[in-house]
A and B are shown apart, each in its own frame.
Chain A
Amino acid sequence: DAKTTQPPSMDCAEGRAANLPCNHSTISGNEYVYWYRQIHSQGPQYIIHGLKNNETNEMASLIITEDRKSSTLILPHATLRDTAVYYCIVRVDGGNNRKLIWGLGTSLAVNP
């Protein structure tokens, strides 16, 4: 199973873009990259996912390098409510076996 590496913490000024990096150098061709966040010990919340192409939704953008060994989650205009732990996860598919391998995440602090 591919594992991910993220910086333990980051800071960002309110209103600026937050760029959260993730390394997944052992990812295989059929493994998706997912991003979740967890606000203050609540249940995690899905943000975005991708396989090869860059993705964008109403919450964030996901940039995946061409070799797929790393990715960056971009929150374009961070707000105080984006303060959370952000998890970069790979999804393993094996028939009916769908599991997410969770790491330690990046604790993002958005400062006023």
Chain B
Amino acid sequence: NAGVTQTPKFRILKIGQSMTLQCTQDMNHNYMYWYRQDPGMGLKLIYYSVGAGITDKGEVPNGYNVSRSTTEDFPLRLELAAPSQTSVYFCASSSRGVLRYEQYFGPGTRLTVT
């Protein structure tokens, strides 16, 4: 299993541009998450999904959109990039219905908006 994969690894955007961060997991996990991590800080939840077709906002959803059309994929869309969105973005997934609630993380996407 590849686990959780994210593309691209790095990206530089100009202010106002749009892009989609891709996330795919091959573990058949129901739950998927998007986090951002600013330098020296912990992770903040942007959006999460409990299954295909179901998404919900986390702590910091403004400026982002998500969709979950399949179990495997959970793309994150930035519509009008702003410098405040410069961050490292992590996608994660976990299984439902088990006591051990372990999130598996992807390697991250490092985004710079200038």
What CA separation (Å) do A34 and B100 show in the bound complex?
A: 10
B26 lies within 8 A of chain A by Cβ: no
A69 lies within 8 A of chain B by Cβ: no
CB-defined contacts of B100 to chain A, threshold 8 Å: 49
What does DSSP make chain A's interface, helix, strand, loop or mixed? strand
A104 lies within 8 A of chain B by Cβ: yes
Q: Report the interface size for chain B: residues with CB under 8 A from the other chain.
A: 26
B111 lies within 8 A of chain A by Cβ: no
Q: Is the CB of B41 within 8 A of A98?
A: no
CB-defined contacts of A96 to chain B, threshold 8 Å: 50
How big is the A interface, by class?
20 to 34
A16 lies within 8 A of chain B by Cβ: no
Q: Is the CB of B103 within 8 A of A97?
A: no
What CA separation (Å) do A103 and B44 show in the bound complex?
A: 9
Interface residues of A in 51-97 (CB under 8 A from B): 87, 91, 96-97
Q: Is the CB of B90 within 8 A of A103?
A: no
* Central interface residue in A43, A100, A105, by most chain B CB within 10 Å: A43
Given contacts A99-B48, A99-B58, contact A42 B42 (CB under 8 A): no
Chain A residue with Cβ nearest B92: A43
Q: Is the CB of A43 within 8 A of B101?
A: no
CB-defined contacts of A105 to chain B, threshold 8 Å: 42
8 A–B contacts, CB within 8 A, in A order: A43-B105, A43-B108, A44-B103, A49-B100, A91-B101, A96-B50, A100-B43, A102-B35
Task: Write the residues of chain B forming the contact surface with A, with a CB cutoff of 8 angstroms.
Answer: 4, 31, 35, 40-45, 48, 50, 56, 58, 88, 90, 92, 94, 100-108
Task: Write the residues of chain A forming the contact surface with B, with a CB cutoff of 8 angstroms.
Answer: 32, 34, 36, 41-46, 49, 87, 91, 96-100, 102-105
Q: 17 other contacts beyond A49-B100, A87-B42, with CB at 8 A cut-off?
A: A36-B103, A41-B108, A42-B107, A43-B107, A43-B108, A44-B92, A98-B101, A99-B45, A99-B48, A99-B58, A100-B43, A100-B45, A102-B35, A103-B42, A104-B40, A104-B41, A105-B42
